[in-house]
Chains A and B, each alone.
Chain A
Amino acid sequence: MTKFSYVVTDEVGIHGRPAGVLVKKCSEYKSAITIGCKGKTADAKRIMGVMSLGAKKGDTVEVSIDGEDEAAVKADLEQFFKENF
């Protein structure tokens, strides 16, 4: 398993549309991906859970990736978070 953390800089946070974009992206990978924020965790491939984290600007999210392709996924996702959130 590999992990990274990221501080959300997007003004409105990971709510409806951004959560949808994230879930779509994560669903492309084989690895299991979970996101933690403010003591809660959610399966990154499930939109309701991701939205209910309430990740806002300034919050730190912890992304854990577990699976064969985890190293590649981590690099991809880190970039993806920077570009989108």
Chain B
Amino acid sequence: MKNFQGKSVLSGVAIGKLFIFKKQEYTLVKKTISDIEGEKERFREACEKAKDQLSRLYDKALADVGEEQAMIFDVHKMMLEDMDYLEAVEGMITEQKVNAEYATNATGESFAEVFANMDDDYFKARSADVMDISKRVIRVLAGVKEGGIDSEEPVIVVADDLTPSETVQMDKSKILAFVTRFGSQNSHTAILARSMNLPSLINTDIELLDEYDGKLAVVDSFNHTLIVEPDEETLAEKQKALDKWRAELAQLDELKGKENETTDGRKINIYANIGNAEDLPKVLASDAGGIGLFRSEFVYLGSQDYPTEEEQYEAYKTVVEGMGGKKVIIRTLDIGADKQTYYFHLDHEENPAMGLRAIRICLERIDVFKTQLRAIYRASAYGTCSIMFPMIISVWEIQRIKEIVEEVKAELKAEGIPFGEVELGIMIETPAAVMMSDELAKEVDFFSIGTNDLTQYTLAIDRQNECLETFYDSHHPAVLKMIKMTIDNGHKNGIWVGICGELASDLTLTERFIDMGIDELSVSPTYVLPLRKRVREI
């Protein structure tokens, strides 16, 4: 039994025989040629053939994995039509009187170097594309056949790294997992592995030895490991993990596109919570109906100074636009003395949980608040956007907020900057807000209950304090009564009520929340489908 460590690009388990993928060996030889025109003609013919291959690969990829993945072959084809590239190869054949194989390789390498030296991972990854097209032309010139998987049963493919043209030629039903020695989270293999839901590892410390070929192995990307020739005990344990993972996947996947509806026909919305724009792909993959909590702290915490309107606008716009019209609820600044950045210059507080935080800072520093509101309103022109305000205790706060919002809208209008219809809501996370929920509901379009803070303030228990474990109860009836009261008062005034705290993903409470009449639950993207499953069982 041998263990190898890698980095997971998609968590899961695969058990099967290893397939050691080695590139088709072709020894490049530099030759001096005399028939320059003939050699250039040979190069042009090879390019045409290579482009034919790429067209076929495009069609195959389109059918197998969709347009997004297939586009790369179209780009490769364009690269083979690029005059800079073609002229460089032909120029080299003419000037140095070298064979087409050599000129193509040398040109490919010099173009690849340009990309490899760029300071961005996406651009760096393009150097692999240049080498891929160059190698393709060379293979055509040299008459080397393309290789696929020659195994009868599905295998774990082990390689240095795989090019798009290598992976697309592989019969997808024969691949259990990818294990590569190199590559990155943005490499084609990683992207493909995620799109095919194959548990895969990159940067794995395994050598491509022939002796591994055909050996039984386990990829456990939950634990970032590849185990070659596992002992019986390990194998049995991993087989269990595999069965469990598969069963969960199959069940959840079937739920995509389905309604969040109970067996007796009650429907709720299930939205996702996110912390920054990079979480967007996870939300889209989770099939969430919207974003129920977009924490805006990241624009402040990741910054050295107050983030500009433009910076914030870009971040919000990316998410609002990316959700394609689905609702995105942005929570305004929610920081305090315990979660702050130095440029806010907040004084040290004895009790930050009850201090100058969240909306209180915004109402004290209207300029900071207005910058954020302007950025959100500008982003609202690109989709469906809502705003919610944290830490509300009094009706006057929301009235003051609405005045400021009106000022912002008037300013934008005067400047001719477009914005959309924006729902305004508040977080219900203080006992005061619950007690005032009847009055507050008359001022806003929705409530979102933040159960973490509401529990802490209701029970007077700091959840980080381990000494209080005996007293802490996440299902405390006081909290559940507060939730019920909030829902009732919201509905009485015709507004919708959701939960965006941790309790929303507590599947043991889902039925009670639905019985209470909850309209929306917002959870982290990975909980969207499990929650949908639970709702459909009720």
Q: Which A residues fall within an 8 A CB radius of B?
A: 9, 11-13, 15-17, 19-20, 23-24, 43, 46-49, 51-52, 54, 56
B120 touching A13, Cβ below 8 Å? yes
Among A9, A16, A43, A56, which residue has its beta carbon within 8 angstroms of that of B126?
Answer: A16
Contact across chains for B123 and A48 when beta carbons are under 8 A apart: no
How many of chain B's residues have a CB under 8 angstroms from any CB in A? Answer: 26
Chain A residues whose C-beta falls within 8 Å of the C-beta of B85 in the assembled complex = 48
B71 close to A (CB within 8 Å): yes
With A and B bound together, what is the CA distance between A23 and B114 in angstroms? 19
Contacting residue for B71 out of A11, A15, A20, A52, CB 8 A? A20
Let me know if A46 and B74 touch, CB within 8 A.
no
B82 partner, pick from A13, A48, A54, beta carbons under 8 A: A48
Q: Which residue of B lies closest to A52 (CB)?
A: B114
Chain A residues with CB under 8 A of B114: 52
A48-B72 contact given A13-B123, A15-B122, A23-B78, CB 8 Å threshold: no
Q: Which of B72, B79, B130 has the most C-beta atoms of chain A within 10 angstroms of its own C-beta?
A: B79
Chain B residues in 8 Å Cβ range of A15: 120, 122-123, 125-126
- Among A16, A24, A46, the residue within 8 A (CB) of B72 is A16
Tell whether B63 is near chain A: CB-to-CB under 8 Å: no
Of B71, B79, B119, B122, the residue contacting A47 (CB under 8 A) is B79
| A72–B318 CA distance with the chains assembled, in angstroms | 29
Contact flag A20-B75 (CB < 8 Å), given A49-B84, A51-B126, A56-B120 = yes
**Contact status A54-B118, CB under 8 Å:** yes
How far is it, in angstroms, between the C-alpha of A48 and the C-alpha of B118 when the chains are bound? 13
A15 CA to B119 CA, complexed, in Å? 12
The answer, yes or no, to whether B129 is at the interface (CB within 8 Å) is yes
Q: List 19 A-B contacts (CB under 8 A).
A: A11-B277, A13-B122, A13-B123, A15-B122, A15-B126, A16-B75, A23-B78, A24-B78, A46-B82, A46-B84, A47-B79, A47-B82, A48-B79, A48-B85, A48-B111, A48-B130, A51-B123, A51-B126, A52-B111
CA distance A17 to B126 in the complex (A): 10
Q: Which residues of B come within 8 Å of A, CB atoms?
A: 71-72, 74-75, 78-79, 82-85, 111, 114-115, 118-120, 122-123, 125-126, 129-130, 277, 314, 317-318
Contact pick for B115, options A9, A17, A51, CB 8 Å = A51
- Across-interface contacts of A23 in B (CB, < 8 A): 78
Q: Which A residues lie within 8 Å of B75 (CB)?
A: 16-17, 19-20, 47
Contact B83 A46 (CB under 8 A): yes
Q: Which B residues are CB-close (under 8 A) to A9?
A: 314, 317
Q: Which residues from chain B contact A17 at a C-beta distance below 8 Å?
A: 71-72, 75
Complex Cα distance, B72 from A75, in Å, reads: 28
Q: Which residues of A contact B318 (CB under 8 A)?
A: 11
Among A17, A23, A48, the most chain B Cβ lie within 10 Å of the Cβ of: A48
Are B78 and A52 in contact, with the CB atoms below 8 A?
Answer: no
A21 vs B461: C-alpha distance when bound (angstroms): 56
Closest 6 CB pairs of A and B: A20-B75, A15-B122, A48-B82, A54-B118, A12-B122, A47-B78
Q: Look across to chain B and name the residue whose beta carbon is closest to the beta carbon of A11.
A: B318
Q: How many Å lie between the Cα of A51 and that of B75 in the bound state?
A: 11
